[in-house]
Structure 1
Amino acid sequence: MEPKEKEGPNKPKSSLKQRISGHYYLWMIALFSLLVFGMIMISLSMGYICIPMGEISGILVNRLFGNMDMATPTAETFTAVIFDIRLPRILTCAAVGAALSISGVLFQGILLNPLADPYTLGVSAGAAFGACIAILLNLGATFVSVPAFAFAGACTTLFFVIFLSYSSSSKGSVSGLSSNNLILSGIIVAAILSAGISFLKFIANEQVSVIIFWLMGSFASKTWSNFMVIFVFLVIGFIIAIYFARDLNLISLGEKAASSLGVDIKRITLLLLVTGSMLAAVCVSVSGIIGFVGLLVPHMVRFITGPDNRKLLPLSMLVGAFLLLFADTITRAVLPHEIPIGVLTALIGGPVFCWIFKKSRLA
């Protein structure tokens, strides 16, 4: 009877621990949602024209409820600055950070490698190559062309990488795709595409400055159409990712174990690779190359959520939006001269990632 008496009290403790864990996760979601909202408000107030928080709140409420009867010339100026200049850029930046983070989670979950991200498979290089061709052909005037070329370049690169890495005799691989082969193929293809981008810059003549500045990444002069494109693809990508999050968890057990539990490895791997590539391609087409967001954010969030992708995906999306918006606010409103956001994320993310990697190796 004593073992049964000991087991009885343990069951409530276990369920209580699970409830606390669930509450802790919900608190983290609420916290980072508030941080993202607060960062949006702070970013709206900062810049060449400083706008008080009270004015911002009043303008947003008036615009939301359509009550602009008490508008003054100052309020009209602030309204134009907020809705025509700052808010499209801020929301686009947050959406790009969220999309890159989701893409990083998908690639790391599929490849079972915390160092994987869209750049590992050469997807970002393919998107950049396609977008550079659109800019070189002077197709940037029609906004649809640059994302279309970027997406085509990313998908072409992805399928070529899969073609190079696929082997029906891959050891320990049910799908014929091994993580090592995918990463090595991605590095090879990315190196070739990097040379191709350099050649495009060489023949670009007067457009070379446009390509170089675009490749460094920037959210300057973003419009509502930019945000809507990112937002639509972000919603689609998040729905697909969260729907297959359980299958992604099973894949982490190993391909044979996942296959024995009913997971269609080939179909889900290809679908999630295309989804991650789609998110990375759209981000590159709108903002240029922004590194380390898709690599660092999922790695950092795992310290909070653990490896469960059902919890990792939503929180990574919020953390990615907050961090990229924070970095963009610094480069836009704090530094004396605006520098490309891709340069800032590389300068900050590189040393931080080296520290995390070294610490994990020592552990």
Structure 2
Amino acid sequence: MPVTDVTTDHEALTMTLTAEFAASVDRLWKAFTDPAQLERFWGPPGWPATFPRFDFAVGGRADYYMTSPRGEKAGGSWEFLEIDEPRAFAVLDSFVDAGGAPADGLPTMRVVFAFEPTAAGSKLINTTYFTSAEALEQVVAMGAVEGSTMAFNQLDRVLAGLREYSAGKGTQTEILDDTHVRITRLVEGPRHLVWRAHQEPELMRQWLLGPDGWRMSVCEIDPAVGGRYRYEWEPLEGMPGEKFGFDGETLLWEAPRRAVTTEHMTGTDFPSTLNDLTLDEEDGATLITLVIEYPDKETRDMVLATGMTDGMEASYGRLEGVLERVG
């Protein structure tokens, strides 16, 4: 993981994050000063960022918000104080309310992003300066250390490019913590077609099948927020297995980038999971990222032990064939 250290200093009133990357300083600088790239890593898994404004000049301002799987928004703004391309830039970082004004009861901080060359590539030193020990403790208690670490640990795939980062890896499953798993798969095809293939029943029936020998017998989707869906699979004639299905509710719908749903195994009292799907496109390929939130570690481990990753890889292999035909 890129993040090598996070240190809080209550005497100096600072929090310093250090991360190292196998990329040049110029490449790292671009990732932090291009809002399209910032949106792909700024914000921990489950809270992706959107930058509707990015005026990168001294005295300019960047506005962003992060959106939770349930649609809550956390806003922030940067006022650019200093820019020394490509070595460093400094901002005044504020939590903001829905109207863009500094949020009551939350601190404003000076933040410096410094970039240094290393033998293997480059290093980021991200230092946040607080006005009081209380402000430092407040931000740390809000999960700043964990959130920043998870966010910057997503940067490798942005720096490398999606094809290089994902080459030969197939479907990857990462355990993020006791209740969260991240699944990624790069597929050849533009994002709008991948989105369609995840939302249109006639396309889903062609690829969302898991291992060979199954058919999708029910595929009903209401994509509106608050709408319900129901999927059901059954074995082909002569194949072993019993039919099963899932149902759930749409919590967030941001076509063609993100959809969040609950997922419950139909006819059981098993608890639901939260499935957060995000699609990122680069050079005609789309990275599918699915962050799954489980109710507890035991449920997480039980599901992973079913061979879920292998089943998803078989489905994503079929998806690429569907994208070729549709495209």
With the shorter chain as reference, the TM-score category is under 0.3
More strand by share: 2
What is the TM-score normalised by the length of structure 1? 0.24
Q: Which structure's relative contact order is higher, taking Cα pairs within 8 Å and 6+ residues apart?
A: 1
Larger radius of gyration: 1
TM-score of the pair, normalised by structure 2: 0.26
